[in-house]
Homo-oligomer: A and B are copies of this chain.
Amino acid sequence: MQVVNIGVLGLGTVGSGVVRLLKDHEHKISSITGRKLVVKTVVVHNLEKKRDIDLTGIKMTDDINELINDNEINIVVEVMGTVATAKKYIELLLRAGKHIITANKDLIATYGSELAELADQNKCDLFYEASVAGGIPILRTIVNSFAADRIIEVKGIVNGTTNYILTKMSQNNMSFTEALKSAQELGFAEPDPTNDIEGIDAAYKMIILTQFAFGINVALDDIEVKGINGIDLEDIKQAKGLGYNIKLLGIAKLVNDRISVAVGPVLVPETQPLSAVQNENNAVLVTGAAVGETMFYGPGAGELPTANSVLSDIIAVTKDIVLETTGNRFNDFSREGKQALPDEVKYPYYISLKVRDRPGQMLKITEVMTELNASFHLIIQSEYDDVNARVVMTTHEMSEQQIKEIIEGIDNLEEIEVIASYRILSE
């Protein structure tokens, strides 16, 4: 049987998983592809570090040239992380005719188009299924199964760390700080969790999903990103009382054929399937004009789930090598897209306020709302502390422009402070 040689760049969690799975499922992979897939060379930063996987027969090196200059290597799996160095290496490898598989969402979200073009020029495949929602095969599904449909909206829970934190807060009555600590202890959150809890990680994934679903390139700056840092347990409870779970959602949708992408805490009705996604799991809900709502659910990260997505890419490349059809883009769909205007993206909102408890306060708030032509659906007042009340409102649908003005207007009032303003998903 002919051999396809694989190089691996980086031997962290995912890299180790790839080496392990290739060995464990060797026979099934051969029976499907008609090739024997062999990890020939692994490039690591630190050759001295002890690894707890079987590396028999694999050349270990710290020199990237061992991949670039080895004509026997067909495919390189980049799982080293970072953006600048990974980009440089991948460019060199593509120029040397290596097919590339990467799980590097930051890199693909930022330089995906540029690298796809370079891959084209060199007749190379460039796949990155593992970059979004680890174990869920969402990118290839959009490419293969929604090609004939017009996708209207893609929304999802694409960050496992924040979903774990929100689940713990909601189910175990933990504060944000306690839940974050628990996530770190269990390895679901990094020692420096900034990218996760600020929503940046989710935003990168939404950039890639938007590209696949709508064929439109957006940049991080085009996305309104809110994280869950310091989210108040009391708001989670209030939302629950109203029939919602607060989830960190990425939402990409077409509004009057313009694109709107946002990441932030959203009140999801308990009756919706996204609402039931718990702990570190991910889920992506795709709404097609023809097919309606479909949801894809699974583990968002982890050694083996992510490695499995890398392996599905390796098999796809191998099939392309066998059929001599390499060099076709992972996603062919591309169109011009304009950003939606702030006054055409409309949602109902949940607003939570800390209000000094004295007569006339409600009047001041309603005056601001009336001035801006916004109306409530519901107001609930409860205790905040000895001298302050918590006022929670849900509004009718309003534009981003309107909610911004309302928040500013209320924040300018004396003795009233906005704690939170979140979108509400409709039933």
Interface residues of A, Cβ cutoff 8 Å to B: 17, 21-22, 24-25, 28-29, 31-32, 129, 135-137, 140-141, 144-150, 273, 276, 288-299, 302, 304-305, 307-309, 311-312, 314-316, 323, 325, 328, 332-335
Contacts and interface: CB of A to CB of B under 8 A. Distances in A.
A294 B299 contact: yes
A144 B316 CA distance: 7
10 contacts: A21-B290, A25-B149, A28-B333, A29-B147, A29-B148, A32-B147, A32-B332, A289-B304, A292-B298, A297-B297
Please state the number of chain copies in the assembly.
2
A135 B294 contact: yes
Contacts of A335: 31
A414 to B, nearest CB: 46
A22 B148 CA distance: 8
Closest 9 pairs between A and B when the two form their complex, measured CB to CB: A137-B145, A294-B298, A148-B311, A290-B304, A295-B297, A290-B308, A135-B291, A291-B308, A145-B312
B273 A297 contact: yes
Nearest to A17: B290
A25 B215 CA distance: 15
Given A17-B290, A291-B298, A294-B297, 15 more contacts: A21-B148, A24-B150, A25-B150, A25-B290, A28-B333, A32-B147, A135-B294, A137-B294, A147-B312, A288-B308, A290-B305, A290-B308, A294-B296, A294-B298, A323-B328
Contacts of A297: 273, 294-297
Contact of A148 (B136, B299, B315): B315
Contacts of A21: 148-149, 290
Contacts of A294: 135-137, 296-299
Contacts of A325: 323, 325
A292 B31 contact: no
Contacts of A146: 308, 312
Q: Which of A22, A31, A298 has the most CB of B within 10 A?
A: A298
B295 A298 contact: yes
Given A273-B297, A291-B299, A314 B148 contact: yes
Contacts of A305: 290-292
A292 B288 contact: no
Q: Which of A144, A299, A305, A333 has the most CB of B within 10 A?
A: A144
Contacts of A136: 294
B295 A299 contact: no
Contacts of A308: 145-146, 148-149, 288, 290-291
A135 B288 CA distance: 10
A93 to B, nearest CB: 22
A290 B307 contact: yes
B293 A25 contact: no
A175 to B, nearest CB: 24
B144 A137 contact: yes
A362 to B, nearest CB: 38
